[in-house]
Structure 1
Amino acid sequence: MGLLRFLFLLTLQLSLFTLSSQATMTNQSYFFSLMNQTLSGNSLSRWNFSSVGVSDSYFCNFAGVGCDNRGYVIKIDLTAWSLTGYFPEGVCSYMPELRILHLGHNHLQRNFPISITNCSLLEELNMTHMNLSGSLPDFSPMKSLRFLDLSYNRFTGDFPLSLTNLTNLETMNFNENGDFKLWKLPVELSRLTKLKRMILTTCSIYGEIPRWIGNMTSLVDLELTGNFLQGQIPAEIGKLKNLQALELYYNQHLSGEIPDELGNLTKLTDLDMSVNKLTGKIPESVCKLPNLRVLQLYNNSLSGEIPRVIENSTTLTLLSLYDNYLTGTVPPNLGTSPNMMGLDLSENRLSGELPKQVCKGGKLLYFCMLQNLFSGEVPENYANCKSLLRFRVSNNRLRGRVPDGLFSLPHASIIDLAFNQFEGPIGKSVGSARNLSELFLQGNRFSGSIPPEISRATNLVKIDLSNNNLSGPIPPEMGSLRKLNTLMLQGNKLDSSIPDSLSSLKSLNVLDLSNNLLTGTIPESICELLPNSINLSNNNLSGPIPLSLTKWGLEESLSGNPGLCISVYPNPLEQKFPTCPKLHSRKRVNHIWLIGISVAFVIVGIALFLKRWLGKDKGVAKHNKTLSSSPFSYEMKSFHKINFDQKQIIESLVEKNVVGHGGSGTVYKIELSDGKAVAVKKLSTRKSKVLTPEDHLFLNKELKTEVQTLGSIRHKNIVKLYGYFSSLDLNLLVYEYMPNGNLWDALHKGRNLLDWPTRHKIALGISQGVAYLHHDLLPPIIHRDIKSTNILLNAEYQPKVADFGVAKVLQARAKDSSTTVIAGTCGYLAPEYAYTSKATTKCDVYSFGVVLMELLTGKKPVEVEFGESKNIICWVSCKVETKEGATEVLDKRLSCSFRDEMMKVLRIAIRCTSRTPAHRPTMNEVVQLLIEADPCNFHSFKSSNKVKEPSNETKTKNSSQ
């Protein structure tokens, strides 16, 4: 009986097991069918459902699926399958043995699938880059979880502190989830004794880095970048003996000195604490770390010398210390590391000679030493730095000859030697620099001729050889540089004629040949370059001026050439250029001229009589009176090819065409005869004094040059200045017309709510326009009055920066001006500008940050709800420091689906409006950050264990757009 009972029970168990196994197989099959219904994507075609019935575990042969020997699914990996839709609920109810679930880099919707938390056996969960949103659940049931990656999603609410119960956790990655409510690192995290990777980048953490973090001795990777951490870096981090990467950059408020104890981290390979407020010296102990590959401490307030011991490193790959207060000399053997790829020590106070061993390893890509006090010569062996992509040593005290081979670096895209004391010829080998796009040699003592071989560097976009001692001809071969955008040769001793071949440079935007010894006539063909900026002034040019140059108002760019003349009658510029000799008598010409004037007086007089008799607009009569009293007293300058009649403009300055008023004047919308609309600003004039011709503001050469500069700007995000009219009592600026008005009205008065993608497009466009002014022009232009009313919107809501304060500049420099005029508007004004009156590019960055806050919050810069004497910056700062979370400041009218992107932009706005100018980013940096925050296209903020771009291109003039 006992044996029979045993056999019966065994048979029963086997039957139950078989039934259970069959049920599991059925459940698993059903779940795959569910996934096939709820997910879409071409990659799913790899799942052959036609094999159903061939075997119970047919799905084990599916791509991305792994099973154990019983046919139970233990792994699903659909990473980067380009799937859309949503992942079905209940995965572990159907697949109870699941250990690995990888769904990252797909475009799924909905919130986090809560049922996943029932997967008690799950060890790996990867749901990065999945577009998930909403709050996160309690993760406590997932006791087996070792790997968790929820980075690059849109989670909101409280950070899931239930993770502190998962004591088997080894990796926790929440990179780029900045929509959490502000939270502090809780001591319970120290219970995760097996945790190796704690990546909490941009996760809305505030407060200080706690000292107990030194107890998490299993940590290999600690990343707390892009949060709101403050205070000193705790010395206890030095206890993390297994740490390989420590990244604390972009917290902005970490302060104090770098602890010497970090020198105990002997396994450390990557240390980045950039963009904070760190002070004191760089610890020698850190520079001795035996495995250090990346050391980035840029944009802090560090002082003292670079520890010489760093030159002994054999592992260093990247050293970026720019924008500090470092002094002394650079360790002479720096660069002996066989792996050195990037060295950026720019914007410090370093002196002495350049290090001679930087290229010894043969891998150096970036060498940036600009804006220091370096002296001496460029070492000869730099010509052997064949791997270099960028070589920048501008704004130092370097001298002597430049090694010829330096001009021919085969991979270099930028060679920048500007503003030093270099001498000798420009190396002919420059023709071998086939990858070179920007060559900056201005402000030196280079002599000899421009080598014709330069024409073989066919990728050149910008050439600036200005203010040197170059002589001889302009090589005609330069006409073959078809990509050339900027050619600046002014301030030399060039003595040839202007080559006709330059007319082949169809991409040319800036051509400056002024202040040379150029002779001959101006080629008619060069006029094909219009409407680009051309300056030929102060040479020995002679002969007739091409008509198009006079038509487009470029006479100022031709001044200082006594031999030039005008070949048309009557001569519109007789006071500036003589009339070219003609076969007929001068007396006859003058006679015809006088007749013409008389006829003009009669015609204008009749017109005035008829208009007054018929009761026409008084404003028109007033302007026509000005026109008739001095019919040829108007000076006109055009900067773009657009046809408009001077008289039509004047007659249209009537009340019905007014579209706006400002501190500098009245703006009119004027329809031209061809149907095109323009905006005309009539500048306010001072009525307290009768202006004489000597007082006439536009006859001031310096001011006209300033207007000429604005007219020469060519950028899609800067409003076009078509031209201007000027007389003794009327100054008009003619701009392109923007149908959607200004950003202020669109945000605060508009009937249509601008969604976040549109607002982001506007922010990015503004930043690109201002970055062009700051970084792509020499000298750079400081706008001084960036505000939402000066941001105009076209029909597609593409923004354009307008109103460069021309009227303010004119009035500030007028002879009857007794006070200093400070440009800027309350609420947008940088604090340092208010008390120093010194405008810098960082003032523009501050104002732009205020505009960003307007876009984010939908509020005005100054509102009653902010409190007395408080503005939007104070209000935002107070909000982000409270537990209610930074998300409370965001415009509640906007969709919450863009919260994470908006939070990224909020962090940018906070950086831009820092009270300390040095802590604000450059506009080029802002452009890049906004691109990374694009709501339509995610980009990595900054990935660890990768070589980061060391060059601070964005912080210098001449950087490429």
Structure 2
Amino acid sequence: MGTPFLLIFLISFLLLCSLSFQTTVDNQSHFFTLMKHSLSGKSLSRWDVFIPGEKPYCNYTGISCNDEGYVIKVDVSGWSLSGQFPANVCNYLPKLHILRLSHNDLRGSFPVGISNCSLLEELNMTSSSITGTLPDLSPMKSLRILDLSYNLFTGDFPMSVTNLTNLEWLNFIENACFNSWQLPDDFSRLTKLRTLILSTCMVHGRIPASIGNMTSLVDLELSGNFLVGQIPPEIGKLKNLRQLELYYNQLEGEIPNELGNLTQLIDLDISVNRLTGTIPESLCKLPNLRVLQLYNNSLTGEIPSAVGNSTTLNILSLYDNFLTGKVPSNLGESSELVALDLSENRLSGSFPPNVCKGGKLLYFLVLQNLFTGGLPESYGKCTSLLRFRVSYNRLEGSIPEDILGLPHISILDLGFNCFSGAIAKTIGNAKNLSELFIQNNRISGVIPPQISQASNLVKIDLSNNLLSGAIPQEIGNLWKLNLLLLQGNKLRSSIPKSLSSLKSLNLLDLSNNLLTGSIPESICGLLPNSINFSNNHLSGPVPPSLIKGGLVESLSGNPGLCLSVYLNSSDSKFPLCPQIYTRKKLNYYWVIGTSGIVVIVGTVLFLKRLLSKERELMEQDELSRLSFSHVQNFHIISFDEREIVESLVDKNIVGHGGSGTVYRIELSSGETVAVKKLWSRKTKDPTSEDQLIQDKELKTEVETLGSIRHKNIVKLYCYLSSSNLNLLVYEYMPKGNLWEALHRGRSLLDWPTRHRIALEVAQGLAYLHHDLLPPIVHRDIKSTNILLNADYQPKVADFGVAKVLLARGSKDSSTTVIAGTYGYMAPEYAYSSKATVKCDVYSFGVVLMELVTGKQPIEAEFGENKNIIYWVSSKVETKQGAVEVLDKRLLGLFKEEMIQVLRISIRCTCKAPSLRPTMNEVVQLLVEADPCRSSNKIKQSSYLIKTKNDA
């Protein structure tokens, strides 16, 4: 009886196992069917190939099974998949150990069910566009690797990770939409953790001392947060630590000496904090240290001499501190330095002679210090150098020939020193040189013609030296040149006609030299945005286009210049040219010889009438000008002021702004201009607050727009002022403003057009923030201040509240008047009254949201006292994810690209200014999100800058 019973039991058991395994096979097969239905992407076609067998999925690309046929790994990272990942993955794949979904576009919130995968050892979902809140992660007890970086998680940080005691890798970098949170003491429970990356995660408060108990740590990154207090000396217990990054926080106090115990440390960056005291000698003795970055703090004292003995150091960045004393003379002798930045300190003495002995130095940046002596000849052998900046020091002697001819150098900045001697002909060997600055020195001799062989030059500033001789004709071969400053020298001869071939030239200053001859007519076809020929010995007629362009001031101090009578100008700065009368006299004699006395009399009468008529026109023109007490021109345009005044009628009104009425005026010349007639708020008391504010805003707009030039910033042609009338004449933008085009336009702007508008506005703002010195903060960026021409090219307008920052950036950027517009205004500006470039970044982020969503910044559907930023952040938490906020009128086209720009807008509108990107970074991100590119994936990298933007 026993044997048959046992046999029946075994057969039943095997049958049940077979059925169970068949169920597992069916479940696993069904899961991959679900994946194909819920996700889209060309890469999934790899699974469409017929594979024989009962478990074909085990042979799919990216899939691995164990010997029993259970799926243990799913790796579809970088497949450019979009859609929602199937829920309850581990119900279908019960033995799953590795799940890699990174670099995809998985819409919606964290996939339901993943947190129940108790056998999962690795979960990588970096850069997958996941939104919403995170669930309790505690059930994933087996996890060793958890990477949820570069997503858009909101709500509270998942403190449940502290229960995952098997974790070895934890990465949440750049999830800046979390609620503020603090590092708890029980993080130290993760004793197996080797990598902890919590950069840009809204971490506040202090670094707990208990972190010193996490002795397995190799990589600790807490940068880009709001950490305060002192760096705990207990970090010095982390004997295995190789990388420590605490930059972009608010840490204070001294750098603990205990960090010198981290003998395995390779990379240390605690820049952009509030650290004080000296640099510990123990840090500079670390045997494996390659990167030491302490810039933008308040460190004092000398650079420890031990740093010169390092055999491993590659990058040393200490700029923007209060360091004093000499640089160790042996710096770079024993290590292969790649970058050295000691700028903006109080360092003195001479340069270390062998700093590039290792042959790999790319950046030598020591500007704004107190260095003395000459440039070591050995620097001419630094052929690897890309940037060499030593301006604003007390250096002297000649510039070594080899330095001027470095083959790979891009920026050579020697300005504001006491250099003497000549510019060597070797400058022609600098084939990669784009910017040459030697201004405000004692350089003598001639400008070598060989400079034209440095064919990549974009900027040349040799102003305020002792240069003599002629301006080389060969400079006209530098077709990329956009800035040429030679003022304040002893240059002689005439202005070379070859300059007219510099079609990219934007700034040209030849003032305060000894130039002679006439102004070439050909150069007037070029007419840079800023031109200055004043205080020379130029003579002859002034080309009419220079006068019409409002450039009279740029010609002053040239007694030999004169005006042609045919110019019809009453400008009294220059006399009429005598050759005009000579030519007419010759014409008179010619008529005598050919036509007789009757014709002579007729001709004389005609000439008298002609001259009389011209004088009459000049007098009328002068009377017209007298109605304006101040006329200031900035661009070439031909019009009569009376024509402008007579056209200020109701039928020409196109809009009303906060500062005045805007008219569209068609000139008799065929050109169309926009004229802003400013509101008159004149009071009896010219010192009243209202009047002072109005005058200040007017002066700001005139000075700002008159001095800057960019294709995406509206042109101010001229400014006309009288006792009761102030007019600003702009280029006319026929498509109105962006707000009208988005919210009231007859035709719908497609996404490529919107993207181009966003990119070009960003380029204009980047010009204001990064290309001007000092930079300019617009302070009122909004869609109504972005104007569109006939081709929908955008231009930033309305600089009435713009603020020019002081020379050392935004450290002193306070203002007593709150500017800006509700809905666009950065939160910190509203309560701190400090205007910084990050305020513009925030406002631009709101404009990006307008472009992506089609919504206005304030709408009733957002809720009372809620704006578009709140609405977007609340919507991206839903299952539909970011797709739900996209402008439905665009018919679902370019979804991926629009979501990329949405992510940029969210970065720009972070509550914390330090977490917002710069406008240069925004430009790069928008370039990478171009819908017209073959590949539109944004490169996922932190926008926190670790090296100085020294250009």
- Counterpart for residue 193 of structure 1: 191
Residue from 868, 872, 892 that aligns with 2:871 = 892
- Please give the TM-score of this superposition, normalised by the length of structure 2: 0.80
- Counterpart for residue 857 of structure 2: none
Count of residues in Structure 1 that have an aligned counterpart in Structure 2: 853
Deviation per CA, 1:749-797: give whole Å up to 9, x if none: 99999999999999987775455346534x6465697676994443759
What is the CA distance between 1:25 and its match in structure 2? 2.3
Name whichever of 517-526 and 582-591 sits farther off. 582-591
Name whichever of 36-45 and 352-361 sits farther off. 36-45
Q: Distance in 2 between matches of 1:823 and 1:189?
A: 43
Q: What code does the residue aligned with 2:393 have?
A: N
Kept in 2, the 8 Å contact 1:845–1:921? The answer is no
1:803 corresponds to 2:799: yes
Kept in 2, the 8 Å contact 1:342–1:950? The answer is no
Give the 3-state SS of the residue equivalent to 1:650 in structure 2.
Answer: helix
- Counterpart for residue 19 of structure 1: 19
What is the CA distance between 1:65 and its match in structure 2? 1.5
Residue from 481, 486, 491 that aligns with 1:489 = 486
**1:162-311 aligned within 5 A:** 162-251=160-249, 253-311=250-308
Kept in 1, the 8 Å contact 2:550–2:635? The answer is no
Q: Distance in 2 between matches of 1:273 and 1:760?
A: 36
Kept in 2, the 8 Å contact 1:411–1:436? The answer is yes
What is the CA distance between 1:181 and its match in structure 2? 1.5
Cα gap change, 1:555/1:562 in structure 2, threshold over 3 Å: closer, same or farther? same
Q: What code does the residue aligned with 1:892 have?
A: W
Any gaps of 5 or more consecutive residues in structure 1?
Answer: 605-625, 691-702, 809-821, 830-840, 859-886, 913-919, 954-958
Deviation per CA, 1:407-459: give whole Å up to 9, x if none: 12111111111111111111211111111111111111111111111111111
Kept in 1, the 8 Å contact 2:777–2:840? The answer is no
1:533 corresponds to 2:536: no
**1:561-640 aligned within 5 A:** 561-569=558-566, 572-573=569-570, 575-580=572-577, 581=579, 582-583=581-582, 584=584, 592-596=610-614, 638-640=633-635
Kept in 1, the 8 Å contact 2:548–2:636? The answer is no
**1:702-721 aligned within 5 A:** 710-711=705-706, 713-721=708-716
Q: Distance in 2 between matches of 1:906 and 1:753?
A: 26
Give the 3-state SS of the residue equivalent to 1:114 in structure 2.
Answer: coil
Cα gap change, 1:889/1:527 in structure 2, threshold over 3 Å: closer, same or farther? closer
Deviation per CA, 1:700-720: give whole Å up to 9, x if none: xxx999968843532134221
Kept in 1, the 8 Å contact 2:777–2:836? The answer is yes
Deviation per CA, 1:244-267: give whole Å up to 9, x if none: 11111112x211111111111111
Cα gap change, 1:262/1:689 in structure 2, threshold over 3 Å: closer, same or farther? closer
1:510 corresponds to 2:502: no
Cα gap change, 1:461/1:842 in structure 2, threshold over 3 Å: closer, same or farther? farther
Q: Distance in 1 between matches of 2:574 and 2:520?
A: 18
Q: Distance in 1 between matches of 2:752 and 2:271?
A: 30
Kept in 1, the 8 Å contact 2:310–2:335? The answer is no
- Counterpart for residue 680 of structure 1: 676
**1:736-747 aligned within 5 A:** 736-737=731-732
Give the 3-state SS of the residue equivalent to 2:181 in structure 1.
Answer: coil
Kept in 1, the 8 Å contact 2:655–2:662? The answer is yes
Q: Distance in 2 between matches of 1:46 and 1:938?
A: 24
- Counterpart for residue 794 of structure 1: 788
Kept in 1, the 8 Å contact 2:119–2:143? The answer is yes
What is the CA distance between 1:511 and its match in structure 2? 1.4
- Counterpart for residue 613 of structure 1: none
Kept in 1, the 8 Å contact 2:631–2:718? The answer is yes
Kept in 1, the 8 Å contact 2:633–2:718? The answer is yes
Q: What code does the residue aligned with 2:907 have?
A: K
Kept in 1, the 8 Å contact 2:544–2:567? The answer is no
Residue from 455, 459, 463 that aligns with 1:462 = 459
Q: Distance in 2 between matches of 1:158 and 1:661?
A: 46
Give the 3-state SS of the residue equivalent to 1:399 in structure 2.
Answer: strand
What is the CA distance between 1:579 and its match in structure 2? 1.9
**1:151-162 aligned within 5 A:** 151-162=149-160
Q: Distance in 1 between matches of 2:237 and 2:186?
A: 18
Q: Distance in 2 between matches of 1:301 and 1:130?
A: 39
Deviation per CA, 1:880-903: give whole Å up to 9, x if none: xxxxxxx99944377544886555
- Counterpart for residue 347 of structure 1: 344
- Counterpart for residue 46 of structure 2: 46
Any gaps of 5 or more consecutive residues in structure 2?
Answer: 589-603, 687-697, 805-813, 822-832, 851-865, 877-881, 883-898
Deviation per CA, 1:861-908: give whole Å up to 9, x if none: xxxxxxxxxxxxxxxxxxxxxxxxxx9994437754488655533447
**1:721-800 aligned within 5 A:** 721-725=716-720, 732-737=727-732, 768-769=763-764, 771-773=766-768, 775-777=770-772, 780=774, 791-794=785-788, 798=794, 800=796
1:100 corresponds to 2:128: no
Kept in 1, the 8 Å contact 2:778–2:803? The answer is no
Kept in 2, the 8 Å contact 1:856–1:906? The answer is no
Give the 3-state SS of the residue equivalent to 2:537 in structure 1.
Answer: coil
Q: Distance in 2 between matches of 1:329 and 1:807?
A: 38
- Counterpart for residue 913 of structure 2: 910
Q: Distance in 1 between matches of 2:570 and 2:545?
A: 14
Q: Distance in 2 between matches of 1:763 and 1:825?
A: 28
1:85 corresponds to 2:83: yes
Name whichever of 68-77 and 397-406 sits farther off. 68-77
Q: Distance in 1 between matches of 2:566 and 2:943?
A: 68
Q: Distance in 1 between matches of 2:225 and 2:754?
A: 24
Residue from 118, 121, 124 that aligns with 2:122 = 124
Two-structure CA RMSD over aligned residues (Å) = 4.3
Q: Distance in 1 between matches of 2:515 and 2:544?
A: 20
Give the 3-state SS of the residue equivalent to 1:177 in structure 2.
Answer: coil
Kept in 2, the 8 Å contact 1:311–1:335? The answer is yes
Give the 3-state SS of the residue equivalent to 1:50 in structure 2.
Answer: coil
Q: What code does the residue aligned with 2:339 have?
A: G
- Counterpart for residue 109 of structure 1: 107
Deviation per CA, 1:519-576: give whole Å up to 9, x if none: 2222222122135322222212222222222232222222222222223336515522
1:387 corresponds to 2:387: no
- Counterpart for residue 450 of structure 1: 447
Kept in 2, the 8 Å contact 1:707–1:806? The answer is no
Q: Distance in 1 between matches of 2:700 and 2:714?
A: 18
Q: Distance in 2 between matches of 1:84 and 1:805?
A: 44
Kept in 2, the 8 Å contact 1:245–1:269? The answer is yes
Kept in 2, the 8 Å contact 1:717–1:801? The answer is no
- Please give the TM-score of this superposition, normalised by the length of structure 1: 0.79
Q: What code does the residue aligned with 2:302 have?
A: E
Q: Distance in 2 between matches of 1:90 and 1:501?
A: 73
What is the CA distance between 1:393 and its match in structure 2? 0.8
What is the CA distance between 1:238 and its match in structure 2? 1.2
Residue from 546, 551, 556 that aligns with 1:549 = 546
1:942 corresponds to 2:945: no
Identical aligned residues as a percent: 59
Name whichever of 564-573 and 896-905 sits farther off. 896-905
What is the CA distance between 1:672 and its match in structure 2? 4.4
- Counterpart for residue 812 of structure 1: none
Cα gap change, 1:98/1:847 in structure 2, threshold over 3 Å: closer, same or farther? closer
